[in-house]
């Protein structure tokens, strides 16, 4: 079931306030949260596959300086983080899972990465502007 406008608004307010959450609680949340996107064999368990392999297949440029990126279905924000680390000017991750978005937001804060996470249903006029890169990885199999 997709979230309605009120649920999106409420979660987006919580995401905007996440920066005021004490570091202790952020770290505890991140330790306890199950990760959907993994980067090493030891984390794999029953996951779909190594997210870093998906990233490598994309053959993204080494530098994304000045680029804008939208990640539709960002889950834990793995690909958003990589884009931000490569210098993207604006990175926006959208998803419909509040826990995943909160974990992604906390992880970005811990790494001092400027990433905007939002609960949105794509397409959404609220995203504003154009994007140089749009990622939609591991999402289409969820559509009906």
Structure confidence by residue, pLDDT tens digits, 16-34: 999 999 999 998 988 886 6
Q: Could you give the 3-state DSSP secondary structure of residue 92? A: strand
pLDDT greater at residue 92 or residue 53: 92
Structure confidence at residue 48 as a pLDDT band (50, 70, 90): very low
Burial of residue 59 (CB within 10 Å: 0-12, 13-18, 19+) is exposed
Structure confidence at residue 121 as a pLDDT band (50, 70, 90): confident
Query: End-to-end CA distance of the chain, in Å?
Result: 11
pLDDT, position 132: 95
Structure confidence at residue 125 as a pLDDT band (50, 70, 90): confident
Beta-carbon contacts of residue 134 (< 8 Å; ≥ 6 apart): 69, 70, 71, 72
């Amino acid at each position: 079931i997709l979230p309605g406008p009120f649920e999106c608004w409420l979660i987006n307010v919580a995401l905007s306030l996440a920066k005021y959450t004490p570091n202790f609680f952020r770290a505890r949340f991140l330790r306890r949260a199950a990760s959907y996107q993994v980067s090493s064999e030891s984390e794999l368990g029953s996951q779909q596959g190594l997210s870093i392999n998906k990233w490598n297949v994309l053959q993204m440029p080494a530098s994304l300086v000045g680029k804008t990126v939208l990640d539709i279905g960002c889950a834990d924000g793995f690909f958003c983080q990589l884009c931000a680390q490569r210098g993207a000017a604006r990175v926006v991750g959208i998803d419909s899972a509040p826990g995943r978005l909160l974990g992604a937001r906390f992880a970005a804060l811990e790494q001092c990465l400027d990433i905007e996470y939002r609960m949105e249903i794509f397409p959404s006029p609220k995203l504003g502007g154009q994007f140089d890169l749009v990622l939609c990885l591991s999402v289409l199999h969820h559509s009906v």
